[in-house]
Amino acid sequence: MHAMGFRPAKPSAILAGVGEAGAGVALALGLATPAAGAAAATTMGVAASVHAPNGFFATEGGLEYPAVLGLAAASFTIGGPGPFSLDSLTGHILDRPWMRAAALAVIPAAIGIQVYRRRKALANDTVAPGSGTPAQEG
């Protein structure tokens, strides 16, 4: 995670794991669907930004696959769970219409913050400590 520009690396790795695995399990169970969908969509949006320099198509390491997963997760945020879900079983206590709208609104902001922080960290990596000039590769 550090080499990809995510600082601090360990908490970033934990958040990515929770965003991918935790939100994926919650979506599969239909539990807290708005929050789970937003978490998965945000994680995949950030992953797509990492793959963006490789172009669009997944066959070339591009952003296609994580972007599609992010869009699918966002669609769960909008559409909500089905009738056979834990949200349905609990009376939709964690799946209210206002929660869907709020979760959907948070996705682009959360992606933007993470992409900004990553780019800033990578830009700082190219500056040699104390010199104020880009580091020499060699």
Q: Reply yes or no on whether the pLDDT at 138 is more than 90.
A: no
Q: What would the mean pLDDT of 77-103 be, rounded to a whole number?
A: 96
In a domain, 84, yes or no: yes
The end-to-end CA distance of the chain, in Å, is 23
Question: Amino acid letter at 116?
Answer: Y
The band of 11, judged by pLDDT with boundaries at 50, 70 and 90, is very high
In a domain, 62, yes or no: yes
pTM, two decimals, is: 0.86
Q: Reply yes or no on whether the pLDDT at 137 is more than 50.
A: no
User: How many Cα atoms sit within 13 Å of 65 on the Cβ side?
Assistant: 8
In a domain, 113, yes or no: yes
In a domain, 130, yes or no: no
- In tens, the pLDDT along 44-72 reads 999 999 999 999 999 999 999 999 999 99
On whether the CB atoms of residues 130 and 137 are closer than 8 A, the answer is no
In a domain, 138, yes or no: no
The band of 125, judged by pLDDT with boundaries at 50, 70 and 90, is confident
Domain that holds residue 62: 9-125
How many angstroms separate the Cα of 136 from the Cα of each of 2, 3, 123, 130, 132?
Answer: 20, 17, 14, 13, 12
Q: How many CB atoms lie within 10 A of CB 136?
A: 7
In a domain, 47, yes or no: yes
Handedness of CA 3, 4, 5, 10 (dihedral sign): negative
In a domain, 2, yes or no: no
Cα separation, 9 vs 15, in Å, equals 10
- As for how many domains the chain has, the answer is 1
